[in-house]
Structure 1
Amino acid sequence: MSTSTYTVTGMTCGHCEMSVREEVGDVDGVQNVEVSAQTGTLIVTASGAIDDAKILHAVEEAGYSAVPVS
């Protein structure tokens, strides 16, 4: 299991959170997605290594932008 945290910009409400959660949840290997519009945080837990590029692309597909938190 691995966990990665991202900062997401542009989210303002629960619908935003749901859109990000659905897109990121469709990425292969992702087991859990926690997202907060209030804090602008996305936490992804996966069964194996997390491919940041795939997560960032999924966030973009939802209509937002994200960067990994170091």
Structure 2
Amino acid sequence: MAGTSKKHTQHEALIGSDGLPRFEDREHFPYVNALSLGVSRMAHCRTTGLPHCVIEDDVQSGYFIPNGSLVYANIWYV
């Protein structure tokens, strides 16, 4: 994996092959930080968010949605 190789190279250059990173070393790992933020942004706990209640009859894309229905929006398509 390209991401794993780049992360490994960055770790080797700053810590060495036998060293363990410390919290204080975090500022020296911009690629690892960006990778972590990207993963956390894409990995939602719940991809449907919170349910919404339809307050009046509606038709969406040819589908009838009656008043009082619960609607879940898929975050991946928003």
> Could you tell me the TM-score, scaled by structure 1's length?
0.33
The two structures have a TM-score, normalised by structure 2, of 0.30
Which has more radius of gyration? 2
